[in-house]
Chains A and B, each alone.
Chain A
Amino acid sequence: MQTSKKLLPLLFLMTLLVNACGGAATDTVSEEQATEAAPSTEVSGEAEVSGDLVIYSGRSEPLIQPVIDAFKAKYPNVNILLKAGSNSELANALIEEKANPQADVFITTELLTVQSLTAEGVFQSYAPAGVENIPAEFVGEGNAWTGLTRRVRVIMYNKDLVAEDEAPASIFDLTDSKWQGQVAAAGSTNGGMQAQVAAMQQLLGDEATEEWLNGLIANEVTFFGGHTDVRKAVGAGEFKIGLVNHYYYYLQLAEGSNVGVVYPDQGEGQVGLFTNATAAAVVNGASNPAAAQAFLDFLVSEEGQKLFAEQNYEYPLLAGVAIKEGVQPLDGFRLAEVDVVKAAANFDAMFDLIERVGLP
């Protein structure tokens, strides 16, 4: 029988063929990626940046899209390939890909992940233009990462259902039976929620944090996959209260809902606001460092920072960029004193706790 003698090479050929088609059909980034010699019309230095730019973003796609579009408009020769997911999912991918880097830029919604990844040696040092105008505590050691915007954990409520003087003034009030079944929050897979838990552990200890989480669960808090669902549900009056990042309140307000906001825990002896920041970093071994650096420069530039502030009601970290009109400035608020480095070191403790209490 000679059937298979010829069948094997055929199979092999097919595989090759398929591989070739697969490569041709999409613009994937292979290891030895030939930089696409796009016919650039050398107008300025900006046009020189070209090729594929692979961005891993822990920020949800709709929120990062406007910034990407603006960057694209500026650098038309760059082809952006975006992979959006949860912070930790992408962090896992980055660690796995250390020997075989795929991404050029990583964007995250909290600092613990970039801090942990810096320790893993995933990033390369890069100081974007203007980084000196960003507060030092929001720049990674040796410029491994750069903070972009600040956000605050707040309590939003539906004004049709809750009077202003009734609204909970502390995140610890959310475990009060008065709000039983009336609170919505993001679940355990959400970076913002994870970061808050880790910060609370660092500040208040495991026991108090566990008690709070158990209190939330016992109080029949509904945990959604993301904050968009939370804000919409509160806006629609399905829930009286939502625990969200501050800009979700403003986004819901802009949609015309009758919602109010509490910047919680401001009393004497209370913990203060839990804040966090988004950050970006250039991946070590990025195949297109030029584009990655241009992208970071853009994110830190006045134009990029304005986009974050205007489109998304965030607190820009670059000095001199104004917050959007109507957003409460942070000055004068009591902020929780969280040591990011310590909190990041205890990242695993946070996952242990979340699993232990069975946070959905």
Chain B
Amino acid sequence: MELTRTNITYQKIRSKISPRLAFAAGLVALFVAVPLIYIFVRAISAEPEAWTRLFQERIWKLFANTLGLVLAVTAGAMLTGVTMAFLTERTDLPGAKIFRWMLAMPLAIPAYIGGIVHLALLRPRGGVIPKLLEDMFSQPVFTPSPLGFGGAAFILTLFMFPYVYLLSGAAFRTLHASLEEASRVFGRTPLQTLFQVTLPALRPGLTAGALLVALDILAEYGTVALLRYETFSSAIFVQLSGRYDRSAASVLSGILVVLAIGILWSELRLQGRARFTQMESNWRPAPLMTLGKWRVPAFLLVLGVVSASLLLPVGVLLVWSIQAFLDPETMRTLFSTGSQGFGNYIWNSLWSSSMAAFIAVVLSLPVGLLSVRYPNRFSKFISRLSQVGYAIPGVVIALSLVLLVNRFLPFLYATPFVVVIAYVLRHMPQAVRASESALNQLSPSLEEASRVMGRTSFQTLFQVTLPLILPGLLAGGSLVFLTSLKELPATLLLRPAGFDTLAVRVWVWAGEGFYFQAAPAALLLVLVSALPLSFLLRREQIFK
């Protein structure tokens, strides 16, 4: 969400890279890279029989399914996100201020929870809506099914578009009005201006958003499993709970990671050359477009998106929770199901996610310091490598960690700490990006002054650098916390007996068809996620 800024190189001032810092950052990168390398080793060393069996047919279907979903959801999220951002930022849409909040809030709702709600409402033959319509018209009325490709694409788009919305919203706000004015002066229509000037200028933000969405879809397990649409992630999961053999799962994982790295690489290529410089001096907001006769349809469109992605899921969860609380039988099972109590799930969720956030931020510091203060090819590589976790879906991280930890660190095996490690690996990129952007905004002259005054580099770090970049680190930590809280597949596979998180409980109950029992946990998960999200949003200008 940051503007690309020209990075002054400080190499003139500091000629030498600190070997120890480089070593520390290198260790962090290695820590992230090991599971990835291990999966490849396993995949390559799998017996040829596993490869041939998979390549006979299955793999092509998985490829088609996975890529189809990635493309559909990325396109859908881009379209929805940019449209929503345009309407709330650039037009006189009624209620824009409130809608801005509401459009970002679905980030607090895990897609699988949204999926559970929509499934209950729209399930063919059994859903609330088809039944209602049938009662009204006394004959079955066609309603779109949430199952399969269409349903999965629809649900995932609903809960992924806020990424794109936030990034493009920020870009719309910082875009210089004079660009568009110039375009209008040269005789282009508003629409032409939008497509030929405004959107291209948003490209960096949009590609970042598209990448986030695409990688998230590759990694998505809960929603596709729920809606019975098979992708690589869910196929790996099924393999893990199938035959007593890890090679097929390793092979699929290897292919999936290659796919993810391909997407990561293409984003870097796209991102690489587009740079827009803006003079910050006389910035003024662009004039709002008057919607005129389009006011009502635009309002209804935004309302529809907000309803489907926020109001409806939260509303339904509320109703279910109330029903759960009113039924003593449900209440009994709610508080005695699982070997531990309900409070225990909340506590597990909170401490494991906070721990992951803390570790990720601490580990991101040496990487950030190295890449920002000593920008060169090596430090860039380290920074990239430590962010490769984006490209490793949760299912794959879990598989890799199970094999690795059991083999090399048996004392850690089946402890909640392994779950925390998975969170850290997976969400490290968010921490690294936050640390880098915070350090980027801090002039090194402060640190140099401190060194000149005789403080050691360590004192400088703790007395000068850290206090100044703390807000940025907090934002990174909040992001890691938020995404860890929602994480499902790695938690499911790695959790030791008796260690359940809210996400796991929701999944287990809903998987058994006990929606009322699942609702309070789901609602709580959404509420807890909403807190760090609000904190993140408040850092943005518009949400103040």
Residues of chain A touching chain B, judged by Cβ–Cβ distance below 8 Å, are: 1-8, 11, 14-15, 18-19, 21-23, 25-31, 52, 54-56, 60-62, 65, 68-69, 79-86, 88-89, 91-92, 95-97, 99-100, 102-103, 116, 120, 187-189, 223, 225-226, 228-229, 232-233, 236, 238-239, 347-348, 351-352, 355, 360
Contacts and interface: CB of A to CB of B under 8 A. Distances in A.
Contacts of A351: 242-243
Among A3, A6, A102, A188: residue with most chain B CB under 10 A: A3
A189 B241 contact: yes
Contacts of B511: 225-226
A18 B351 CA distance: 11
Contacts of B338: 61, 82
A100 B333 contact: no
Given A31-B410, A95-B244, A14 B336 contact: no
B512 A27 contact: no
A25 B347 contact: yes
Contacts of B18: 1, 3-4
Given A69-B336, A100-B406, A238-B125, 14 more contacts: A1-B20, A1-B457, A2-B457, A3-B461, A4-B366, A14-B362, A55-B497, A56-B497, A61-B338, A80-B339, A81-B496, A85-B241, A97-B414, A232-B513
A80 B53 CA distance: 41
A239 B24 contact: no
Interface in B204-261: 225, 228, 230, 238, 240-244, 246
B24 A4 contact: yes
Contacts of B441: none
A238 B333 contact: no
B126 interface: yes
B264 to A, nearest CB: 26
B499 interface: yes
B321 to A, nearest CB: 18
B239 to A, nearest CB: 9
B363 A11 contact: yes
Contact of A81 (B241, B402, B413, B497): B497
12 contacts: A2-B456, A2-B458, A4-B366, A18-B359, A29-B496, A52-B498, A62-B512, A65-B336, A81-B499, A116-B244, A351-B242, A351-B243
B21 A3 contact: yes
B348 interface: yes
Interface residues of B, number: 68
Given A83-B496, A96-B406, A348 B243 contact: yes
Interface in B14-58: 16, 18-24, 27, 53, 58
Given A85-B241, A236-B126, A355-B58, A228 B512 contact: yes
Interface of B: 16, 18-24, 27, 53, 58, 123-126, 225, 228, 230, 238, 240-244, 246, 333, 336-340, 347-348, 351, 355, 358-359, 362-363, 366, 369, 402-403, 406, 410-411, 413-417, 420, 456-458, 460-461, 492, 495-499, 508, 511-514
Contact of A82 (B246, B363, B498): B498
Contacts of B498: 26-28, 52, 54, 80-83
A229 B355 CA distance: 36
Contacts of B496: 28-29, 81, 83, 102
A162 to B, nearest CB: 15
Nearest to B23: A4
Contacts of B244: 88, 91-92, 95, 116, 120, 347
Contacts of A86: 241
Given A61-B337, A61-B512, A236-B126, A22 B20 contact: no
Contacts of B243: 88, 347-348, 351
Among B124, B243, B347, B402: residue with most chain A CB under 10 A: B243
Nearest to A89: B241
A100 B336 CA distance: 30
Nearest to A65: B337
Contacts of A89: 240-241
A213 to B, nearest CB: 16
A102 B369 CA distance: 41
A19 B424 CA distance: 14
Given A22-B355, A236-B126, A96 B366 contact: no
A26 B497 contact: no
A210 to B, nearest CB: 15
Nearest to B22: A4
A22 B417 contact: yes
A22 B338 CA distance: 20
Given A14-B359, A82-B338, A82-B339, A102 B497 contact: yes
Contacts of A2: 20, 456-458
Contact of B126 (A11, A228, A238): A238
Contacts of A62: 333, 337, 512, 514
Contacts of A233: 125-126
Nearest to A4: B20
A239 B539 CA distance: 51
A61 B508 contact: yes
Contacts of B366: 4, 7
A82 B497 contact: yes
A25 B18 CA distance: 38
Nearest to B362: A14
Contact of B508 (A4, A84, A97): A84
B495 to A, nearest CB: 7
A5 B20 contact: yes
Among B23, B420, B511, B513: residue with most chain A CB under 10 A: B513
A23 B228 CA distance: 37
Contacts of A27: 498
A30 B412 CA distance: 8
A229 B21 contact: no
A92 B416 contact: no
Contact of B512 (A6, A30, A60, A83): A60
Nearest to B124: A238
Which 3 interchain pairs have the tightest Cβ spacing?
A: A81-B498, A4-B20, A89-B241
A92 B339 contact: no
A82 B504 CA distance: 13
Nearest to A120: B244
